[in-house]
Amino acid sequence: MKTEQPILITSITAAADLSASKNLLIGFDGDICGAAAKCLGVLNANTNSGEEAPVTAQGIALVYSGEAVAVGADLESDASGKAVNYTAGVIVGYALDAASGADELIRVLLT
């Protein structure tokens, strides 16, 4: 069983319906993080629009992969808030687990 180790959990007002978005990267605007963008952290609980959303901003968080990644890979966000291999955006963390494809929960050491 993969575990999380949050160091800092903060909250942000959900700018959109995040009721099916737990374990996705969240932007500073309270919405799903955009492709290659800087993110606040990882959503800890499904949250309705206008509610306060808990976000892990530091530590190790479980995040859905957007593609295959290797252990130790630099990661960035894709347009769906999933962790993908870094190419040219902002590094959001490092993979502590490998993923063989999309939609796998992996541990990410957040930067």
Check: CB of residue 49 under 8 Å from CB of residue 81.
no
Indicate the burial class of 1 (C-beta count within 10 angstroms; 0-12, 13-18, 19 or more). exposed
Pairing assessment for the beta strands 83-85 and 41-43 based on DSSP bridges? unpaired
Question: Which residue range is the domain that position 74 belongs to?
Answer: 1-111
Q: Tens of pLDDT along the chain (111 residues)?
A: 899 999 999 999 999 999 999 999 999 999 999 999 999 999 999 999 999 999 999 999 999 999 999 999 999 999 999 999 999 999 999 999 999 999 999 999 999
DSSP character at residue 88: S
C-alpha angle 103/111/104, rounded to 5°? 10
Closest listed residue to residue 50, CA positions, set 84, 77, 11, 82: 11
Q: What is the pTM of this model?
A: 0.96
Number of separate domains in the chain: 1
Cβ atoms < 10 Å from Cβ of 7: 11
